[in-house]
A and B are shown apart, each in its own frame.
Chain A
Amino acid sequence: MEQRLSDPAADPHALQRSTLRGNAESIGFAIMVAALVVTPFFTYPLFLMQAMCFALFACAFNLLIGYVGLLSFGHALYFGWASYLSAYAAKAWGFTPELAILTGTATAALCGLVAGLLAIRRQGIYFAMITLALAQMMYFFALQAKFTGGEDGIQAVPRGHLFGVIDLRNEAAMYVVVLVIFLAGFLFIHRVVNSPFGEVLKAIRENETRAISLGYRTDRYKLIAFVLSATLAGVAGATKAIVLQLASLTDVNWPMSGEVVLMTLVGGLGTIFGPVVGSFVILVMQFKLAAMGEWVLVIQGVIFVACVLLFRRGVIGEIANWLRIRL
Chain B
Amino acid sequence: MFEILGIPSSALFGQLLIGLINGSFYALLSLGLAVIFGMLNIINFSHGAQYMLGAFAAYLLLQYSGLGYWPALVIAPLLVGATGVIVERLFLQWLYKLDHLYGLLLTFGLALIIEGVARNYFGSAGLPYIVPESLQGGRNLGFMFLPNYRAWVIVASLTICISTWFVIERTRLGAYLRAATENPTLVRAFGINVPRMITLTYGFGVALAAFAGVMAAPIYNVSPQMGSELIIVVFAVVVIGGMGSILGAIVTGFGLGVIEGMTKVFFPEASNTVIFVIMAIVLLVRPAGLFGRRG
Contacts and interface: CB of A to CB of B under 8 A. Distances in A.
A129 B234 CA distance: 10
A4 B236 CA distance: 26
A286 interface: no
Contacts of B236: 129, 133, 136
Contact of B110 (A265, A295, A305): A305
A123 B284 contact: no
A124 B100 CA distance: 7
A231 B279 CA distance: 24
A137 B281 CA distance: 13
A293 interface: yes
A123 B102 CA distance: 15
A224 interface: no
Given A2-B97, A301-B113, A132 B232 contact: yes
A144 B270 CA distance: 10
A82 B26 CA distance: 32
Contacts of B287: 121-122
B230 to A, nearest CB: 11
Interface string B101-128: 1101110111111111101100000000
A141 B101 CA distance: 28
Nearest to A134: B276
Contacts of A126: 239, 295
A3 B99 contact: yes
Nearest to A303: B109
A119 B239 CA distance: 11
Given A2-B97, A118-B283, A124-B100, A298 B232 contact: no
A106 B61 CA distance: 53
A2 B98 contact: yes
Given A129-B238, A298-B113, A304 B284 contact: no
Nearest to B102: A308
Contacts of B102: 5, 308, 312
B101 A5 contact: yes
A294 interface: yes
A108 interface: no
Contacts of A296: 116
Given A130-B279, A295-B120, A305 B113 contact: yes
Interface string A84-122: 000000000000000000000000000000000011011
A122 B283 contact: yes
A245 interface: no
B43 A125 contact: yes
Contacts of A4: 99
Contacts of A71: 101, 104-105
Contacts of B276: 133-134, 136-137, 140
Interface string B270-282: 0011001101100
A58 interface: no
Nearest to A4: B99
A81 interface: no
B95 interface: yes
Contacts of B110: 301, 305
B295 A124 contact: yes
A175 interface: no
A153 interface: no
Interface in B181-201: none
A200 interface: no
Q: Which of A3, A119, A293, A308 has the most CB of B within 10 A?
A: A308
B255 to A, nearest CB: 17
B112 A130 contact: no
A9 interface: no
Nearest to A300: B112
A65 to B, nearest CB: 8
B17 to A, nearest CB: 23
A148 to B, nearest CB: 15
Interface string B162-193: 00000000000000000000000000000000
B115 A3 contact: no
| Pairs of residues from A and B, 7 with the lowest C-beta to C-beta distance, nearest first | A304-B109, A301-B112, A297-B116, A301-B113, A137-B276, A298-B116, A133-B236
Interface of A: 2-5, 69, 71, 73, 118-119, 121-126, 128-130, 132-134, 136-137, 140-141, 143-144, 254, 258, 261, 265, 293-305, 307-309, 312
Given A69-B99, A125-B100, 4 more contacts: A4-B99, A122-B288, A295-B120, A308-B109
10 contacts: A2-B99, A118-B283, A133-B232, A134-B279, A136-B233, A140-B276, A144-B272, A258-B108, A265-B105, A294-B120
Interface of B: 37, 43, 91, 94-95, 97-102, 104-106, 108-117, 119-120, 228-229, 232-233, 235-236, 238-239, 269, 272-273, 276-277, 279-280, 283-284, 287-288, 295
